[in-house]
Amino acid sequence: MNRATLAWAAFKNMMRAASRDPFWALVALISAPFRFAKAFAMAAVFFMVVLLVVIIAREYLLGLAGSVKGDALWYLTDAMI
């Protein structure tokens, strides 16, 4: 079976289950965002840690290069981040 056929079969099964138990379907729709909250939070924390490391590395490397706040190189790296 190709993916479209499998997806259509899964959709039909889900609609059959929703028609048998509409309360289940409602609860599933309401609780769906909470199932993915942990993955979203972990990705957000990872993104913030990476951003913090990049900002600290930028400040350190620009300090080694002798650049100060307001230089063209500082503005270039600020625009990149």
48, 21: one domain: no
Provide the number of structural domains found in the chain.
2
Q: Residue 79: CA atoms inside 13 Å, Cβ hemisphere, count? A: 7
For residue 44, the model assigns a pLDDT of: 96
80, 46: one domain: yes
27, 64: one domain: no
Q: From CA 32, how far away is CA 51, in angstroms rounded?
A: 29
pTM over 0.85: no
45, 81: one domain: yes
29, 41: one domain: no
Q: What is the domain range of residue 50?
A: 36-81
Q: From CA 48, how far away is CA 55, in angstroms rounded?
A: 10
For residue 28, the model assigns a pLDDT of: 84
CB count, 10 Å around CB of 58?
16
CB count, 10 Å around CB of 48?
10
What averages of pLDDT result for each successive group of 10 residues across the chain (81 residues)?
90 90 87 89 97 93 86 83 79
For residue 1, the model assigns a pLDDT of: 65
